[in-house]
Amino acid sequence: MTSQPVLSKPIESMNSFDIARQQLAIVADKLNLNHDVHEMLKHPKRELTVNFPVSMENGTVKMFTGYRVHHNLTRGPAKGGIRFHPETSLDEVRALAFWMTVKCAVVNIPFGGAKGGVVCDPAVLTRPELEDLTRRYTTEIAIMLGPDEDIPAPDVGTNGQIMAWIMDTYSMLKGHTVPAVVTGKPLAIGGSEGRIEATGRGVVTVAREALQAAGAKISGSSVAVQGFGNVGSVAALLFHRAGAKVVAVSDVQGAVLNKRGLDIDALLAYSKRTGSLVGFPESEPMPADALLTLPVDVLVPAALQNQITAQNAAAVRARFVIEGANGPTTPQADIILRGNDVTVVPDVVANAGGVTVSYFEWVQGLQSFFWTEAEVNAKLEQIMVRAFAQVQEAAKEHRCDLRTAAYIVGVGRVAEAISARGIYP
């Protein structure tokens, strides 16, 4: 039995960036990481905070705050999503950029980590207001963007349409069309087949590998999915089609339960028609937080960070937690879950399908040569299976959990690149 890490701060005082740094500290000890490299990775390379006005449809002008953070660019240009959410903060964006650095290295694609966000609630903005906000934010951060510098993608509260507005705004500033400046954009302007489903598909692929490693299989397994956005809805559908019994799903308005299994195709149609899961026929309502403690084989937290904490981790009864969201499990919760023999497949492996296919989209955009959906899915499968196998091997070698193993793989690759390049001048 390996010794448990000691947390440097009490969980109650840890924000997302504290947690990211704590995860780095744990793996730095395991790797015997060079002190100078550790110090470099503790700090983002650059950060930009912008405050900008948007003309609202009621005739007023409202100020918004946005961020873009580059964590580490040693392995390639910055890659990371942009989220529009009312609780977005600079520390959250810093943490997400760090996780992107590790994630890109774990799946071994040539990107560094970045993240961006605007403090806003897109649900209360009209379409023209959302477009104006997006274009103004893009203009403000354009000094950091470029197909060889920083390539954004969708995240919480953003989608392909918003990426299209970002691409168009950047292209207007440059005076020519630049498709490779963003990924996750519509097919009509250079998006990739399979990109929308990529993160959810990657979650299910990694879940399959984790279950197989434990002598189990997806078919016949029970699954609960927290979050029914792009990641959670696709994952739920693919679990359902693979023969799993998806017993519970939640969105921001509530959760639905059917112990015999939900009809996910019908649930998707209902959600699209009504805007919510609540009231779905052939289901019963349940408190959203209760979904995390259902007695299922597989739990997929696919909403926001810090969902499984010291307060509820002991009540988690799933055999496997497959992290569809970024940072849904706190370090204290990790310790509790390990003590209860719950296998956690971390976000930097489990939800890396999105950035992997974003990499494919970027390559296709640079070459102006596009692949079929079957080709994209086959390449995604190959990379996700390989990444999980490498993380699992590191876990065996270092006798540690999968999260620590993933950081050993990812941080190790970044450290190797830093060492090879050296410090300029």
Same domain, 51 and 160: yes
Residue 170 lies in a domain: yes
Q: What pLDDT, on the 0 to 100 scale, is given for residue 6? A: 42
Same domain, 231 and 345: yes
Q: What pLDDT, on the 0 to 100 scale, is given for residue 357? A: 97
Domain that holds residue 334: 198-350
Q: Which of 300, 324, 350 is the last residue of a domain?
A: 350
d(CA 369, CA 2): 49
Domain count, the chain: 2
Q: Which of 30, 103, 115, 185 is catalytic?
A: 115
Q: Which of 317, 350, 383 is the last residue of a domain?
A: 350
Q: What pLDDT, on the 0 to 100 scale, is given for residue 282? A: 86
Same domain, 168 and 214: no
d(CA 91, CA 18): 8
Residue 236 lies in a domain: yes
CATH of the domain at 138: 3.40.50.10860
Q: What pLDDT, on the 0 to 100 scale, is given for residue 1? A: 37
Residue type at 385 in one-letter notation: V
Residue 238 lies in a domain: yes
Residue 398's Cβ-side half-sphere holds a number of Cα atoms within 13 Å equal to: 24
Same domain, 218 and 160: no
Same domain, 158 and 235: no
Same domain, 57 and 151: yes
Same domain, 233 and 277: yes
Residue 345 lies in a domain: yes
Residue 359 lies in a domain: no
Same domain, 111 and 244: no
Residue 66 lies in a domain: yes
Cα distances (angstroms) measured from residue 25 to each of 100, 163, 411, 419: 17, 35, 11, 19
pLDDT tens per residue, the chain (425 residues)?
343 444 444 444 578 898 889 889 989 988 999 999 999 999 999 999 999 999 999 999 999 999 999 999 999 999 999 999 999 999 999 999 999 999 999 999 999 999 999 999 999 999 999 999 999 999 999 999 999 999 999 998 999 999 999 999 999 999 999 999 999 999 999 999 999 999 999 999 999 999 999 999 999 999 999 999 889 999 999 999 999 999 999 998 889 999 999 999 999 999 999 988 988 998 999 998 899 999 999 999 998 888 899 999 999 999 999 999 988 998 889 999 999 999 999 999 999 999 999 999 999 999 999 999 999 999 999 999 999 999 999 999 999 999 999 999 999 999 999 999 998 88
Same domain, 71 and 115: yes
Q: What pLDDT, on the 0 to 100 scale, is given for residue 305? A: 81
Q: What pLDDT, on the 0 to 100 scale, is given for residue 4? A: 43
d(CA 192, CA 210): 28
Same domain, 173 and 82: yes
Q: What pLDDT, on the 0 to 100 scale, is given for residue 7? A: 47
d(CA 421, CA 7): 32
Residue 115 catalytic? yes
Same domain, 119 and 74: yes
Q: What pLDDT, on the 0 to 100 scale, is given for residue 44? A: 97
What does the block give as tokens for 17? 């960036």
Same domain, 257 and 341: yes
Q: Which of 350, 382, 410 is the last residue of a domain?
A: 350
Residue 188 lies in a domain: no
CATH of the domain at 232: 3.40.50.720
Residue 382 lies in a domain: no
